[in-house]
Amino acid sequence: MNNSAEQKKIKVLFLARWYPNETNIQLGVFIQKHALAASKYCDVALLNVVSHDRLTEKFKIHYTEDNGFPAVIAYHRKIKSSFYPFNRILSFFRYLSAHRKGMDRVRQKLGEHDITHAYIFIRPAVLAWLMKIFRKTPFVISEQWSGFVSGKFEKKNLFERMLIKYVSAKAAAVTTVSNFLKEGMMRNGIRGKFYVIPNVIETDSKPASEKSNDGLIRILSVADLVDEIKNISGSIKAIAEITKTYPQVRFDIAGGGHDREKLEQLAAGLSVLNENVFFHGMKTNEEVYQYLHQCDFLIMNSRFETFSSICAEAMSCGKPVIATRCGGPDEFVIPLTGILIEPGNQKELEAAVKSMIENHHNYDAEKIKKYASEKFNADVIGKQFFEIYKSILT
């Protein structure tokens, strides 16, 4: 840079592995919010490359500024070859082609950027590293993947594990959303200049409670329906047991995933499907907030979470939460905001739900909102990113 970071706005390119798009409207909302926070202090543009299995043309470039900053989604048609090695190689080259086309569109708006901010290993981080080699552009990596704490990282092949470790060490900074994730990455031999920056959660300006007066006790879960991680089945079993005492309970589940059919069958077998337990499919972030305002409290029953945006979002609406001590929530769920339980402990979950049914109205909604607003404020988090960028460039 010819001028100091204080004299001109730093130009930051977010390379996002995940981002809300037409194939998945929930994917990577937290990245969108981090980019928006950074855009309060920097000139930000975002590029996301997406494999699309319903695309008729080979590539499609979608440009938008609807979320407060320029975002380019570069779709490429998914490779459908059954020959695995050929599939991966061709898919990677098609990814690179889509990335190049997307970068052309980004540069029209942003020009040459000062910092590359890669979000989620491994392709975005590798591309950011290559930009450092060929363009001398320093890069930051942000990570939220639960695989670093769940054992999935160790199951990756040796080449991928070594590449992640190498690229991480070359980054000017590595940010994680919790100390839990940072420590998990370090245990796996990943080194870097670490910073902990939580997710951004906007506090809704609506009153803390807008629940309809229908006599129901409304309980909500919002999650990808991947039961191995989210343990939705445990929540359904708990609700089925509790409805024997509290028949007025309604449990709404928002989210999509490959285990939905299995979970619906479980609920049907327990005679609670569409009686006490309702599946609503994938929802946008705005729709999720509508559910949050209508519920009495949230259940987050995961086995692993590096942060848990939905817990923080519930709190931003003044709603108490039941959350497992699964990593991320341990660092911000306090008695003011809800109950922490051990992962996989069915009796503890049932006891917590019964306690919350009886006592949810005793939680101070405005104090919960204030706590969330102060902890996950976009201005504060955007400033934290800005200070990292500035220190790298100066």
Q: What CATH number did the domain enclosing 85 receive?
A: 3.40.50.2000
Q: Are residue 245 and residue 169 in the same domain, yes or no?
A: no
Nearest to 374 by CA among 337, 346, 348, 321: 337
Residue 331 inside a domain? The answer is: yes
Range among 80-84, 199-203, 294-298 with highest mean pLDDT value: 294-298
Q: Are residues 366 and 386 in the same domain?
A: no
DSSP 79: P
Q: For residues 267 and 296, state if they share a domain.
A: yes
On whether both 59 and 136 belong to a single domain, the answer is yes
CB 389 within 8 A of CB 135: no
- Are residues 329 and 243 part of one domain? yes
Distance CA 134, CA 126 (A): 12
- CA angle, 303 then 309 then 310, to 5°: 80
Note the pLDDT of residue 139. Answer: 98
Cα 170 from Cα 283, distance rounded (Å): 37
Going by DSSP bridges, is the β-strand pair 71-77/59-64 parallel, antiparallel, or unpaired? Answer: antiparallel
Torsion from C-alpha of 20, 144, 154, 161, nearest 10 degrees: 80
Is the confidence at residue 83, as pLDDT, over 70? Answer: no
Q: Are residues 321 and 387 in the same domain?
A: no
Per-residue pLDDT band for 12 (boundaries 50, 70, 90) equals: very high
Evaluate if residue 305 carries a pLDDT over 90.
yes
Q: Are residue 175 and residue 241 in the same domain, yes or no?
A: no
Average pLDDT over residues 338-360: 97
Q: pTM of the predicted model, to two decimals?
A: 0.85
Q: How confident is the model at residue 34 (pLDDT cuts 50, 70, 90)?
A: very high
Claim to verify: residue 21 and residue 93 sit in the same structural domain? yes
How large is the average pLDDT for residues 74-101?
83
State yes or no: pLDDT of 5 exceeds 50.
no
Q: Give me the domain span that covers residue 91.
A: 11-200+377-393
Q: Is residue 210 part of a domain?
A: no
Q: Does residue 174 sit in the same domain as residue 312?
A: no
Q: Is residue 366 part of a domain?
A: yes
Give 25's pLDDT tier (boundaries 50, 70, 90). confident
Which whole number is the average pLDDT over 370-392?
Answer: 95
Environment class of residue 111 by beta-carbon count within 10 Å: exposed (0-12), middle (13-18) or buried (19+)? Answer: exposed
Sequence-separated (6 or more) residues with CB below 8 Å from residue 208: 317, 318, 365, 366, 368, 369
Which pLDDT band, with edges at 50, 70 and 90, does 96 fall under? very high
Count structural domains, the chain: 2
> Domain check: are 107 and 178 in the same one?
yes
Q: Quick one: pLDDT band at residue 85, thresholds 50, 70, 90?
A: low
Predicted confidence band at 2 (pLDDT cuts at 50, 70, 90)? Answer: very low
**112-150 pLDDT, tens per residue?**
999 999 999 999 999 999 999 999 999 999 999 999 998
pLDDT of residue 254: 96
Question: Is residue 183 located within the same domain as residue 281?
Answer: no
Residue 6 lies in a domain: no
**In the predicted model, what is the mean pLDDT of the chain?**
92
Residue 213 predicted with pLDDT over 60? yes
Q: Say if residue 257 is in the same domain as residue 309.
A: yes
Query: Does residue 208 sit within a domain?
Result: no
- Specify the pLDDT at position 212: 60
Whether 132 is in a domain gets the answer yes
